[in-house]
Structure 1
Amino acid sequence: MNITVETTKPALLLDAGEITLGIQSRKEMENHYRVKENRNILTALCALINFGEGKVKVQSKNPDYSLAKHGVGDDLETSFKNIWPSTPLVFKQDQLNVFICVQPQSPDGSGGKPATIAINLFMRNGASSVEMSFDVAQEFLEKMAGAGGRSPLARLKGKRPGDGLQEEVHVQELAAAFFKQSKLTKMEKFPFSESKNVEYKSFETKKLLQRVKEILPRTVSAFANTDGGYLFIGLDEKEQQIVGFEAKNCHPKCLESEIEKCIRQLPVTHFCEEREKIKYTCKFMEVHKPGAVCSYVCALRVERFCCAVFAAEPDSWHVEDNHLKRFTTEEWVNQMIA
């Protein structure tokens, strides 16, 4: 992060350094550099909005840059709108310096809620883990704060599926029965689909550990914040077959250790007195095939959480002691429910 706090009074001035500006110029950039620049200026803008009033200064790398002629950049415009749609941004150019100006919020604006790049609070929507929108997250947190947490989930009730349609309760029961098994047969079909409470993956063996670490935070957050659920690693999504993974490429003990480490590091917010930890069960089922090396399916059951589980700290920034600082989860939540 390359951001300097130049002044804080009477208004904030943040210097975000050099950046490539212009719609066409940014399209021609290598993606890595475009994302890095976008991230830097977005962090500065987030802190500025949370400060209340001021400017972000950037210097164009393009010697012939004209704001009126070349624009800012599609990716930057999209990011600016996503972070805080109601904020009136004004762009001004002085030679190669471009200033992004934030005006004070109107009384009917944000209401003091923090501008946020990524909320990192997930929920299940159908068979997917999705990040809550700002409004949904606020409602979710306010309801829990008012109720002192969430009550235990009542057992789902409903009719058995008819005409080939699987209801949520039936899928969950099939997944629960599958979870209890200890030995499986390679390439055998399994009897359930993905749903609000069930997700399964079959990653490339060489990248299995990396991919699990990538999806686990948002998947655990989503299951814990909804009604709990099952994640199976080693099941083929397309063919709905048991494939497993070999221990020589990712040993079960290593994977189990990484799963435990990942889950224990997830930020949580409590509104209840019990302040329980995230409850989960991780197990490995042997996958057998005549003449083949034994492989495994990793099965993870995540319980419904009493309060809120984040995939990471909310990505929201402010200025403190002339430095940019990221809000802690507790600080961010307190502002959301104030």
Structure 2
Amino acid sequence: MQTKDDSIVVDPSQPDLVINVGKVTFGEENRKKLQKNQRDQEKKKVVRAACALLNSGGGVIHTEMANEDDHPVEMGQDLEQALRELIQSSDVLQAFIECLQQGRHSYIYVKSWSSGPPSEDSCTKPRICSLSSSLYRRSSTSVIRLDPRQALDFLKTQKRNAKHTLRNEESPPSEIPNIIHQNVSESNPAFQVFQSNKIEHGHILPFPESQSVEFKQYSTKCIQEYVRRKIPEYISAFANTEGGYLFIGVDDKRKTVLGCAKEDVDPDSLQRVIAGAISKMPVFHFCSTDARVSYETKVIDVFKKENLYGYLVVVKVEPFCCAVFSEAPISWIVNQKQEIISLNTKEWVAKMMDTDPDLAEGFKSLLISSNIPPCCRPVYFRKVPEPKASIQQHLF
């Protein structure tokens, strides 16, 4: 479902695409004096507007300067850094964004996002600009969020794997190689603990954290809230790698079972929180299935001197066939109604993979000139047969 952002609005009275974000504080010293919440809110508005313009052919961000300086000041390091992270490129910031101050107003000119020639196999910049891919994977003992370029490579790999699997399924049985399938879960040492019904407080597990094992310990009554916020990252990371086990109630440094104290958590309620969080995670299929994330939750009683102390919660996650997101990717565009909206997961993947018909067939290329005035919109032209293409090229 697309989400409209009402905190920043398109100015319909302008001939160019202009987004008004309201008051913003400029200048490094001025921004340091702001409360963190206000600084983050201003930064959020500017970055969302820049993302929407990058993905919509370029335009202008109009701000009213909240600071009282009567002379031009710099943008501010936190704003510049946020915009650099948005662009995710070796290009300098000025390749896409320029700033001009006039009196109490500041104008940030944003050029159109350019990914270079699209190719199924070559490593190019993503077709669109995003604040976050919302795709996670395991790397050794860590969970990493894929930047847009890494996300594009991951999606291409998953698409190729899905096509290969589909071809094998369609092949006659005699042509499919005889592969002996091994249950990876049962070969993992964590599987033995997962099979248990009770365990002793202070027990040291005979295996460390790894690519397929994660330990978490929450010694607070806010366990459910922590789990609700963090579970999508860990579950999607396991599903997008090779599966694995998330242990809630184990000290990661000492591999010691501490459990979640029974006074702090209700196991049935915690399982519902986990199930609810996983059910909301978006998935995208390149294959012919509509499967969801496959997982199993196990609550193990933790005893201390023969008395029930609390619970060890283990979530076993199976590898996913295509792509699992922790939430919808964060990317914004300006639609035909001149509304600033976020892309849903399906739209985002389609544009990233260049499978959107308007991108794949409608627009051949984007003409960008570094010498044109900053507020001029870029020009798209469609594929047309000769001789019209020759005429277009001559006129342009």
1:87-166 alignment runs, 5 A limit: 87-105=95-113, 108=116, 113-148=127-162, 155=182
Distance 1:14 1:66 in 2: 24
Provide the residue aligned with 1:163 in structure 2: none
- Shifted more, 120-129 versus 104-113: the winner is 104-113
Question: Could you tell me which amino acid in structure 2 is paired with residue 146 of structure 1?
Answer: R
Provide the residue aligned with 1:162 in structure 2: none
Does residue 259 in structure 1 map to residue 274 in structure 2? yes
Distance 1:60 1:218 in 2: 37
Show CA shifts across 1:248-287 (max 9, x none). 3210000000100000100110111122111000010000
Does residue 329 in structure 1 map to residue 345 in structure 2? yes
Tell me: CA distance 1:59–1:290, structure 2 relative to 1, closer, same or farther (3 Å).
same
Distance 1:206 1:96 in 2: 49
Does residue 76 in structure 1 map to residue 79 in structure 2? yes
Does residue 44 in structure 1 map to residue 52 in structure 2? no
Q: CA deviation at 1:294?
A: 3.0
Q: Secondary structure at the match of 1:230?
A: strand
Given that residues 199 and 301 in structure 2 are in contact (C-alpha distance below 8 angstroms), is that contact kept between their aligned partners in structure 1? Answer: yes
Q: CA deviation at 1:94?
A: 1.0
Given that residues 223 and 303 in structure 1 are in contact (C-alpha distance below 8 angstroms), is that contact kept between their aligned partners in structure 2? Answer: yes
1:185-196 alignment runs, 5 A limit: 185-196=200-211
Question: Could you tell me which amino acid in structure 2 is paired with residue 208 of structure 1?
Answer: I
Question: Could you tell me which amino acid in structure 1 is paired with residue 85 of structure 2?
Answer: N
Q: Secondary structure at the match of 2:222?
A: helix
Tell me: CA distance 1:104–1:42, structure 2 relative to 1, closer, same or farther (3 Å).
closer
Tell me: CA distance 1:154–1:138, structure 2 relative to 1, closer, same or farther (3 Å).
farther
Gaps in structure 2 of 5+ consecutive residues:
1-5, 118-123, 166-178, 355-396
Fraction of identical pairs, as percent: 29
Which structure has the larger Rg over C-alpha atoms? 2
Q: CA deviation at 1:191?
A: 1.1
Gaps in structure 1 of 5+ consecutive residues:
158-168
Distance 1:139 1:112 in 2: 9
Tell me: CA distance 1:312–1:65, structure 2 relative to 1, closer, same or farther (3 Å).
farther
Q: CA deviation at 1:247?
A: 2.8
Distance 1:77 1:227 in 2: 37
Distance 1:318 1:302 in 2: 34
Distance 2:332 2:321 in 1: 27
Provide the residue aligned with 1:317 in structure 2: 332
Does residue 290 in structure 1 map to residue 305 in structure 2? yes
Tell me: CA distance 1:175–1:106, structure 2 relative to 1, closer, same or farther (3 Å).
closer
Which of 307, 310, 328 does residue 322 from structure 2 map onto?
307
Tell me: CA distance 1:9–1:306, structure 2 relative to 1, closer, same or farther (3 Å).
farther
Distance 2:325 2:180 in 1: 20
Show CA shifts across 1:169-226 (max 9, x none). 99x7221111111110011211111111100111122121111112111111100000
Distance 2:99 2:16 in 1: 16
Count, aligned residues: 324
Q: Secondary structure at the match of 2:18?
A: strand
Q: CA deviation at 1:90?
A: 0.7
Does residue 5 in structure 1 map to residue 10 in structure 2? yes
Q: CA deviation at 1:147?
A: 3.6
1:173-322 alignment runs, 5 A limit: 173-290=188-305, 292-320=307-335, 321-322=337-338
Q: Secondary structure at the match of 1:294?
A: strand
Provide the residue aligned with 2:24 in structure 1: 19
Q: CA deviation at 1:142?
A: 1.8
Q: CA deviation at 1:293?
A: 4.0
TM-score (ref. length: structure 2): 0.76
Distance 2:112 2:333 in 1: 15
Tell me: CA distance 1:33–1:155, structure 2 relative to 1, closer, same or farther (3 Å).
farther
Q: CA deviation at 1:289?
A: 1.1
Question: Could you tell me which amino acid in structure 2 is paired with residue 143 of structure 1?
Answer: T
Distance 2:273 2:279 in 1: 10
Does residue 60 in structure 1 map to residue 50 in structure 2? no
Question: Could you tell me which amino acid in structure 2 is paired with residue 328 of structure 1?
Answer: N
Q: CA deviation at 1:64?
A: 1.0
Q: Secondary structure at the match of 2:154?
A: helix
Given that residues 113 and 128 in structure 2 are in contact (C-alpha distance below 8 angstroms), is that contact kept between their aligned partners in structure 1? Answer: no
Given that residues 48 and 332 in structure 2 are in contact (C-alpha distance below 8 angstroms), is that contact kept between their aligned partners in structure 1? Answer: yes
TM-score (ref. length: structure 1): 0.89
Runs of 4+ in 1 over 6 A off after TM superposition: 109-112
Q: CA deviation at 1:156?
A: 9.2
Tell me: CA distance 1:275–1:28, structure 2 relative to 1, closer, same or farther (3 Å).
same
Question: Could you tell me which amino acid in structure 1 is paired with residue 352 of structure 2?
Answer: M
Distance 2:293 2:19 in 1: 39
Distance 2:129 2:11 in 1: 21
Question: Could you tell me which amino acid in structure 1 is paired with residue 350 of structure 2?
Answer: N
Q: Secondary structure at the match of 1:250?
A: coil
Distance 1:24 1:100 in 2: 20
Given that residues 56 and 112 in structure 2 are in contact (C-alpha distance below 8 angstroms), is that contact kept between their aligned partners in structure 1? Answer: no
